[in-house]
Structure 1
Amino acid sequence: MSIRVSGTLLAVALVAATGPVLGAEGACTGTLYLTLDTGNMRHAEAIADILAKHQVKATFFVAQEKTYRGDLALDPTWAGFWKARVAEGHAFGSHTWRHGAFRQDEADGKVVYRLMDGNQIRLDASQICAELKQPDTRFAELTGRKLDPLWRAPGGRTTPNTLKAAEACGYRHVGWAPAGFLGDELPSDAYPNETLLKRALARIRDGDILMAHLGIWSRKEPFAPMLDPLIGGLKAKGFCFATIPSR
Structure 2
Amino acid sequence: MPAARARVEPVGLQTNLIRIAIIFIALSAYVSGAGAQNNCEKPLYLTFDTGHMGVAPLVADVLKRQQVRVTFFAANERTKEGDDSLGDHWAPWWKARAAEGHEFASHTWDHTYWRADLGDARNPSFRVRPSAGPREGQNFVLTAKQYCEEVTRAADRLKSITGKPPLPLFRAPGGKTSPQLLASAAACGYAHVGWSPAGFLGDELPTETASNDALLRKALRDVRSGDILLAHLGIWSRKDPWAPAVLEPLIVGLKERGFCFRTLREHPDYANTIRR
| TM-score normalised by length of structure 2 | 0.79
Flag as ranges the 4+ runs of structure 1 deviating above 6 A.
Answer: none
Q: Is the 8 A contact 1:151 1:173 kept in 2?
A: yes
- Identity across matched positions, percent: 51
Equivalent residue number for residue 195 of structure 2: 176
Equivalent residue number for residue 119 of structure 1: 138
Higher relative contact order (CA 8 A, sep 6+): 1
Letter aligned with residue 237 of structure 2:
S
Equivalent residue number for residue 99 of structure 2: 87
Separation (CA, whole Å) in 2 of partners of 1:177 and 1:49? 25
Alignment of 1:128-207 (within 5 A): 128-207=147-226
Q: CA RMSD for the aligned pairs?
A: 1.6
Equivalent residue number for residue 29 of structure 2: none
Deviates more, 1:100-109 or 1:186-195: 100-109
1:47-102 Cα deviation digits (max 9, x unpaired): 01111111000000000000111520000111110010000001110000010210
Q: Is the 8 A contact 1:132 1:151 kept in 2?
A: yes
Separation (CA, whole Å) in 1 of partners of 2:39 and 2:59? 25
Bigger helix share: 2
Kindly state the Cα deviation for residue 123 of structure 1 after the two structures are TM-superposed.
Answer: 1.0
Q: Secondary structure at the match of 1:76?
A: coil
Separation (CA, whole Å) in 2 of partners of 1:31 and 1:85? 21
Q: Is the 8 A contact 1:111 1:161 kept in 2?
A: no
Separation (CA, whole Å) in 1 of partners of 2:232 and 2:129? 21
Kindly state the Cα deviation for residue 140 of structure 1 after the two structures are TM-superposed.
Answer: 1.8
For the pair 1:236 / 2:271, whether they are aligned, the reply is no
Separation (CA, whole Å) in 2 of partners of 1:107 and 1:130? 18
Alignment of 1:10-29 (within 5 A): 22=36, 28-29=40-41
Separation (CA, whole Å) in 1 of partners of 2:35 and 2:86? 28
Letter aligned with residue 234 of structure 1:
L
Kindly state the Cα deviation for residue 28 of structure 1 after the two structures are TM-superposed.
Answer: 2.6
Separation (CA, whole Å) in 2 of partners of 1:144 and 1:163? 27
1:122-161 Cα deviation digits (max 9, x unpaired): 1111101100010111112212222111100000001122
Kindly state the Cα deviation for residue 22 of structure 1 after the two structures are TM-superposed.
Answer: 4.2
Q: Is the 8 A contact 1:34 1:241 kept in 2?
A: yes
Kindly state the Cα deviation for residue 191 of structure 1 after the two structures are TM-superposed.
Answer: 0.7
Q: Is the 8 A contact 1:90 1:243 kept in 2?
A: yes
1:104-134 Cα deviation digits (max 9, x unpaired): 1113521111122321111111101100010
| TM-score normalised by length of structure 1 | 0.88
Q: Is the 8 A contact 1:201 1:234 kept in 2?
A: yes
Q: Is the 8 A contact 1:21 1:241 kept in 2?
A: no
Q: What residue ranges of structure 2 are gaps of 5+ in the alignment?
A: 1-33, 272-276
Provide the aligned length of Structure 1 versus Structure 2.
Answer: 226
Equivalent residue number for residue 8 of structure 1: none
Equivalent residue number for residue 211 of structure 1: 230
Q: Is the 8 A contact 1:59 1:92 kept in 2?
A: yes
Equivalent residue number for residue 13 of structure 1: none
Deviates more, 1:57-66 or 1:159-168: 159-168
Separation (CA, whole Å) in 2 of partners of 1:44 and 1:21? 29
Separation (CA, whole Å) in 2 of partners of 1:183 and 1:150? 23
